[in-house]
Structure 1
Amino acid sequence: MTPASRTRAWPRGRTPGTDTDTGADAGAGTDTDTGADAGAGTDTGADAGMSTGTPPSPVRGTTVGVATVDPAPDPDPEAGPEAGPGSVPHPHGFLARAALVTAALSVAGALLGLGRDQALAHLFGAGAGTDAFLVAWTVPEVASTLLIEDGMAFVLVPAFSAALAHAARGTDGDPVRALVRATLPRLALAFAAAGALLIAGAPLLVPALAPGLPDRALAVDCTRLTATCVLTFGLAGYGSAALRAHRCFLAPAAVQVAYNTGIIATMAVLGGRWGVRSAAAGVAVGGCLMAAVQTPPLWRRLRHRTTRPVTVPRPTPAQAPVPAPAPAEGVSAEGVSAAGVPAPAKEASAPAENGPAPASAEKGSAPAPVPAENGSASRPVAFALVAPVLLFALCRQAQVLVERFLASGLPAGAISHLNYAQKVAQIPMTLSLMLCTVTFPVVARALAEGDTERARARVERDVAVASCLVLLGAAAVFACAPQIVHLLFRRGAFTAADTAATASVMRVYVLGLLGHTLVGALVRSYFSAGRPTWYPLAAMGAGLAATWGLGAWAVGPWGVRGIAAANAVGITVSAGLLLAGPGGRAVPVRVRPVLRALAGPAVAACGAAAAGLYCAEAVAPASAGSPAPGLAAGGAAVLLVHLLLLRVCGADAVTPLLRSAVRRMPHARRALFRPRSRPRPRSRARSR
């Protein structure tokens, strides 16, 4: 049964198929809500009206199947309405609004993370006990990188994006539900098995991570408590990837808020009786809260997905039939391999043998990747897709393992000083990469549609903006490091010597913040299409080797500062290799324009750091031991000088984007805080 043909006159400025309503009766358009109860970008209700004008009659002999209703893919809002065939433009300010939601929750999570570190420093200081806990803390750090931040996200976001793009053009069944049914049970079983293995092998793992640790028994107890996070982090990461592919960013951005809240609450309740073990128990509680935050919105989106008859249009003599864009290599919207990962597309998704060749989706854009023709090759292709992503994420996190391994032979408290300095210094990097988190599904969807040019422009803009933001934060941290550490941690068991040691390490750490940001932004140009590639792993391996070699040499004369310097050099080597990578990557980023975009912000950051350092030290003698005046003076000087030098240096790639973001913020705030209204009822006419 097909919808009745009807014609609708659309007002000026409106596009058929675009609708901003929410709820179960919304039109088959693009929902822009990002709240926990919102439509999250691509969902439509069970009774959605077909506001698509007059549908063409089916071709004689063509089967009209039942397909999942999904809106047309949304192009980049800056690409204009002609971004791609059959696409509708983003609602105005969608990315600005999503970035605002993500920024607000990222800041809240970062502040709670600081509160967690403050509570740890206040209750337990920086000694042998905190060193033992921080060795156990390696487990959730690695699990977070593999299962939430990098590893699984680079595999699952393109997989869900390909499934949504496939469903939007009409296919039998529901590719999204099929993907979930085939992957989630196997992955959950694997996560549980890995957690149990870590619990059993904790006595062997601790001496391998930190052979010089004095209190191994305490570290083993903490490791067994933190190992439970492998299952909960895996479930939370799966939900985050699926929701972000559906353009829902509220719940994924809230995971760190839930996680840090659980740790702080557990330390407050059990800290007096359990000691530092209470922090490890808080990791287990926080992991459960992370998974709980993701479950309700993901369940709603899967439950509300509906099927609807799809009418195949009659091709005209002047227009050759264009097949649906093929999913990325190794990722099919219709099935998955037995290994629990997306399988290649079947032959049914390819064009007919005698049909004309498919046209490019857009002038200047590359065609979609060609899927594997033989379904029997699904297992090796799937392994080649997943293995380099997970190994890359593990190799990236291994820099922290190298640091703690080298610092375990130093006096007690060295690992704690490294940890506190790293947590504070990396806040600018975390906030700058939130833009890449929001736009990663946009890049993956563009590649699924074959629009390489739009994906390249998006990645280059993200690299420019993220680098400018992280350089500003690095300048502020370098200039005001003693004041920041004093204000955050100087209380309880955290002494003046701990403050000085942590501040000195922090100033060395910031030298590698640009490298960390470039790695996080550029690696998306390799993994966003879902093609198997081993080059990012090789680049990270080279950087890790540099970190290990330089750290082993520098730890003797310079101690923890030498380890931090080795980290900065190693990650910078990896960033340079990723930027100058092979031309066959999924998104061909241009090296010279990116370097030109980085030159101005880098010069501005150096000048701002020098000015801020001078002002902070000039105010310190008159502040009577309080860090607030020096921090305020240094921070203000950094901001003013950085903006002035950006203007003088002519940061052409950054200034227009920041101006555009400022113009869009009022619309984003109005859209975010507008009152939710009940959906308007729609008349539905159906032919029997």
Structure 2
Amino acid sequence: MSLIRSSLLVGLGSIASRILGFARDVLFAQALGAGPVADAFLAAFRLPNLVRRILGEGGLNPALVPTLSRLGADEAAEAAGDTLGAFALVLLVLTGLVEIGAGLIAFFLAPGLHDDGETLALVALYTRLSFPIVICVTLASIAAAVLNWRGRFTATALAPLAVNGGLILALIALESGFDLPLARKAAWLAAASSLAGLIQLAIVAVALLKGGPRLVRFRRPRWSPLLKSLLLAGLPVLVASGAVQIFFLAATQIASFWPSGVSWLYYAERVMQLPLGLMAGLSAGLLLPELARRHQAGDTLALVTAQNRALEVALLLALPASAALFLLARPISTVLFERGAFEAADAEGTALVLMALSLGLPFATVGKVLSQTLFALGSLRAALAAAALGLVVTVTASLLLAWSLGQTGIALGVSLGCLGHAGAVILGLLRFGLWSPGLDTLSRLVRTALAALLMSLGLLGAQNMLPEAEPLVLAAFCLGGLVLYALAAFATGALTRDDWVSLTKKSSQPLRPDAGLS
């Protein structure tokens, strides 16, 4: 399968998942609003949703793909089976501990609610109901990594749709057929998330079993050096690959000290995650296996070329997305969220947080893409150091800025954390002699920035034509901005016809030094 077909398949699946997830959050806002119950539910949902997002974006791929790439077919199938079995046992124990200690976890997730015992108790209840999804999505992620490694992307692209699709159906059923108090409604949604995760696991498991013993061979897990390294690397890999998600977890804890802070940050983040999640999924699902193969082949030049090309493509999407989210934050928040229990003041607060987060989108993209090279090299220490630095910057900046800017300052802290993380990743690549963007890449990035600037000027010039925040008007602005950016990208040379030719080449063919990402 050519990279363009693989990219389209994974990309369409990611887009569909993000759209469904966004529709889910719009319904969350309508059903729960931004009050104490919403803060409790979203704080509890943050932990399993954090794990689901990291894993859904290929969070375990950095641990599994390079390891499996070094093994023969039979050894890889046995290693995959051992990994699935061992992780299942570990996760069962972990889930049991969470169910017992949900009260303590609730305080960790929302320390700002320590004086509100009733709301904190709701956080604990919703944590108990929603956390079992972690078992399902983790095992599904391991199976998806095996499928991606073998070049099978269909099930891994479609399976994540089950979680968001299931929650949307649950929301529609609760809103149309039942008249429940907010607290009970949120409890049903928390339970529905765990059931939806089970469906996702079933979809991937069927695809894995259809591949036969060549893909996975189940047996009683053996405590081999390989399995030990995978288990010990599992948590650090998740921390390193999910750095941005962890920044948001820390920001949520800080935001819990402000009224509606958890809700505003959550909804704004979900808008930001539309473009970021797509690029993260493509990076881990497609770029990482490609980089791992080139590293194993010892072709450093091809690895750097692929890395630079991926960075160009990622910023080609991230820069205009960042500009559009900043300029259209208010109409986006009003059109998408202001209904039902979500009031105008909540939409305004969410818009300000979204504007602050949009500034960090390009840096989050750079960190996500470039960290794949560190994972391909097996340099987990450098990736962890970058994530740790980003977390320290996020917490420090959020605490300092929150005193004067409130929730908006917390969001700015996240953006600064993304900047720190990206810079630390680049320093890690410099240590390995793998950061060499070259004049061609720098020129392409300048042209991309110019195209994004032209699009921004066009949107600013048309702002007076937006009398009210209406869905059709907002959709027209988004479509018009996309068309304007595409024209500007072709005019400036940020996007060329040769890009399409490069992307349609077979990924299994050796990469020529001048071929780009094939």
The change in CA–CA distance for 1:383 and 1:425 in structure 2 (over 3 A counts) is closer
**What SS does the aligned partner of 1:194 have?**
helix
Q: How far did residue 660 of structure 1 move?
A: 2.8
Counterpart residue type for residue 342 of structure 1: L
Aligned twin of 2:202: 292
**What SS does the aligned partner of 1:590 have?**
coil
Could you tell me whether the CA contact under 8 Å between 1:143 and 1:229 is conserved in 2?
no
Confirm whether residue 620 of structure 1 aligns to residue 504 of structure 2: no
Aligned twin of 1:398: 246
Could you tell me whether the CA contact under 8 Å between 1:479 and 1:613 is conserved in 2?
yes
Q: 1:343-370: CA deviations, max 9, x gaps?
A: 6xxxxxxxxxxxxxxxxxxxxxxxxxxx
Q: In 2, distance between residues paired with 1:119 and 1:582?
A: 42
Confirm whether residue 440 of structure 1 aligns to residue 288 of structure 2: yes
Moved more, 441-450 or 243-252: 441-450
Aligned twin of 2:434: 588
Counterpart residue type for residue 551 of structure 1: S
Confirm whether residue 100 of structure 1 aligns to residue 8 of structure 2: yes
Q: In 1, distance between residues paired with 2:268 and 2:191?
A: 23
Aligned twin of 2:510: none
Counterpart residue type for residue 92 of structure 2: A
Given candidates 368, 371, 380, the residue that maps to 1:523 is: 371
Aligned twin of 2:514: none
Counterpart residue type for residue 230 of structure 1: V
Counterpart residue type for residue 226 of structure 2: P
Given candidates 249, 265, 271, the residue that maps to 2:169 is: 265
Q: How many residues are paired up? A: 491
Given candidates 217, 226, 244, the residue that maps to 1:342 is: 226
**What SS does the aligned partner of 2:360 have?**
helix
Q: How far did residue 610 of structure 1 move?
A: 3.4
Confirm whether residue 629 of structure 1 aligns to residue 473 of structure 2: yes
Q: How far did residue 133 of structure 1 move?
A: 0.6
Give runs of aligned pairs for residues 136-175 of structure 1, distance below 5 A.
136-163=44-71, 166-167=72-73, 174-175=74-75
Moved more, 425-434 or 563-572: 425-434
Q: How far did residue 604 of structure 1 move?
A: 2.6
Q: How far did residue 659 of structure 1 move?
A: 3.7
Q: In 2, distance between residues paired with 1:108 and 1:634?
A: 18
Could you tell me whether the CA contact under 8 Å between 1:162 and 1:445 is conserved in 2?
no
Q: In 1, distance between residues paired with 2:437 and 2:428?
A: 9
**What SS does the aligned partner of 1:151 have?**
coil
Aligned twin of 1:476: 324
**What SS does the aligned partner of 2:428 have?**
coil
Q: In 2, distance between residues paired with 1:342 and 1:153?
A: 15
Confirm whether residue 456 of structure 1 aligns to residue 304 of structure 2: yes
Q: How far did residue 583 of structure 1 move?
A: 4.1
The change in CA–CA distance for 1:305 and 1:263 in structure 2 (over 3 A counts) is closer
Moved more, 210-219 or 603-612: 603-612
**What SS does the aligned partner of 2:434 have?**
coil
Q: In 2, distance between residues paired with 1:181 and 1:306?
A: 5
The change in CA–CA distance for 1:408 and 1:641 in structure 2 (over 3 A counts) is same
- Structure-1-length-normalised TM-score: 0.67
Confirm whether residue 247 of structure 1 aligns to residue 151 of structure 2: yes
Q: In 1, distance between residues paired with 2:498 and 2:99?
A: 48
**What SS does the aligned partner of 1:275 have?**
helix
Q: How far did residue 634 of structure 1 move?
A: 5.7
Q: How far did residue 107 of structure 1 move?
A: 1.8
The change in CA–CA distance for 1:635 and 1:255 in structure 2 (over 3 A counts) is same
Q: 1:178-211: CA deviations, max 9, x gaps?
A: 2123322111101111111111111001112212
Higher helix share: 2
Confirm whether residue 109 of structure 1 aligns to residue 17 of structure 2: yes
Query: Relative contact order (C-alpha < 8 Å, sep 6+): which is higher?
Result: 2
Larger Rg: 1
- Structure-2-length-normalised TM-score: 0.87
Report the identity percentage: 29
**What SS does the aligned partner of 1:212 have?**
helix
Question: Could you say what the CA RMSD is over the residues aligned between the two structures, in angstroms?
Answer: 2.7
**What SS does the aligned partner of 1:534 have?**
helix
Q: In 2, distance between residues paired with 1:571 and 1:224?
A: 31
Q: How far did residue 121 of structure 1 move?
A: 1.2
Give runs of aligned pairs for residues 47-66 of structure 1, distance below 5 A.
none
Confirm whether residue 497 of structure 1 aligns to residue 381 of structure 2: no
Q: In 2, distance between residues paired with 1:627 and 1:496?
A: 16
Q: 1:18-54: CA deviations, max 9, x gaps?
A: xxxxxxxxxxxxxx4xxxxxxxxxxxxxxxxxxxxxx
Aligned twin of 1:279: 189
Could you tell me whether the CA contact under 8 Å between 2:447 and 2:493 is conserved in 1?
yes
Q: 1:209-252: CA deviations, max 9, x gaps?
A: 21222311111110001111121111111111010001011111
Could you tell me whether the CA contact under 8 Å between 1:388 and 1:537 is conserved in 2?
yes
Counterpart residue type for residue 185 of structure 2: G
Aligned twin of 2:509: none
Give runs of aligned pairs for residues 182-581 of structure 1, distance below 5 A.
182-213=82-113, 214=116, 215-270=119-174, 272=178, 273=180, 274-303=184-213, 338=223, 342=226, 385-386=233-234, 388-393=236-241, 395-411=243-259, 413-436=260-283, 437-529=285-377, 531-581=378-428
**What SS does the aligned partner of 2:70 have?**
helix
Give runs of aligned pairs for residues 66-85 of structure 1, distance below 5 A.
none
Q: In 1, distance between residues paired with 2:55 and 2:204?
A: 14
Counterpart residue type for residue 466 of structure 2: A
